[in-house]
Amino acid sequence: MPDGLIGPNRRNAWTARPGGVSLLRPARAPRPVTVEALPQTVTLNLAATALIVVDMQNDFCAADGWLASIGVDITPARSPIPVLADLLPRLRAADVPVVWLNWGNRPDRANLPPGVLHVYDADGTGGGIGAVLPDGRGPVLERGSPSAAVVAELEPAAGDVHVAKYRMSGFQDTELDSVLRNLRVDTLLFAGVNADQCVLATLMDAANLGYDVLVLQDAVATTSPPFCLDATLYNVRQCFGFTLTGTALAESL
């Protein structure tokens, strides 16, 4: 931060001077953008919007990652890549924060209850979170390992924000809410995988916390059966917020 500014970033900073401090945050002019969406057209304020990209990491989306190693067809999980590759530079140019929300567990897994570990290791043989992949990569979903890194095709930029998560929801036991509030955003765009699992769980918690939530439906995907994605998009439109396409948003920018 420049001298005289006190805060986590330029969006949420006091101004200090000898003998006094101004609590007035920097003013940000509204930057409205209107986009076709479902169930209604929406107008976003880009000055108060952030993009959350969920789990676009090697373990879920790379050919040599964990899911591929256990026989899961990751083709659907890779479908958001070209949409995001086009959209991310446009959002950054519009000063919209990009938040990478990836599974990234503690090496000792000390904060993970049996219910979370069981999801990925149903028979208790140790093949889930923390396991080392056959070629020596991994450990699976461990913070700081190649497994938890963003896929190569979506290289993060220097100003992006990274938050590690440990549950389906990125808000549980993490600093995500504090990060977003310090960015002074109230509208969240969601992209990533799996749409019916981690994306939806994070979106629901965001809606419950009072954020406006929108899913970029061509920038989310799932390795679950197609009806799971259909139900997810239906429920988002019916109960929580809106769906739109990243392509339409990119055009509006």
Give one DSSP letter per residue of 68-105, joined into a string. HHTT---HHHHTHHHHHHHHHHHHHHTT--EEEEEE-B
- Which entry of 59, 61, 196, 198 is annotated as an active-site residue? 198
pLDDT tens column, 5-21: 999 999 999 999 999 99
Tokens of 144: 């700081």
* Predicted local confidence at residue 215, as pLDDT: 98
Q: What mean pLDDT do residues 26-41 have?
A: 96
64 belongs to the catalytic site: no
Q: Which helix (H) or strand (E) holds 15?
A: strand 12-17
* Predicted local confidence at residue 31, as pLDDT: 96
What pTM was estimated for this model as a whole? 0.95
pLDDT tens column, 121-132: 889 888 889 988
* Predicted local confidence at residue 227, as pLDDT: 98
- Which entry of 165, 196, 212, 218 is annotated as an active-site residue? 165
55 belongs to the catalytic site: yes
Confidence of residue 1 (pLDDT cuts 50, 70, 90): low
165 belongs to the catalytic site: yes
Q: Classify residue 160 by its DSSP letter.
A: -
Tokens of 223: 């390795």
- Cα 231–Cα 236–Cα 238 angle in degrees, nearest 5: 90
- Residue 71 confidence (pLDDT) above 70: yes
Query: From CA 186, how far away is CA 202, in angstroms rounded?
Result: 15
Residues 6+ apart with CB under 8 A from 27: none
Domain ranges of the chain: 30-252
pLDDT tens column, 134-191: 776 779 999 999 999 999 999 999 999 999 999 999 999 999 999 999 999 999 999 9
What CATH number is given for 30-252 in this structure?
Answer: 3.40.50.850
- Residue 106 confidence (pLDDT) above 80: yes
Q: What mean pLDDT do residues 73-81 have?
A: 97
* Predicted local confidence at residue 137, as pLDDT: 73
The phi and psi torsions of 118 (rounded to 5 degrees) equal -65, -35
- Residue 114 confidence (pLDDT) above 80: yes
Confidence of residue 24 (pLDDT cuts 50, 70, 90): very high
* Predicted local confidence at residue 245, as pLDDT: 98
* Predicted local confidence at residue 126, as pLDDT: 81
Q: Classify residue 146 by its DSSP letter.
A: G
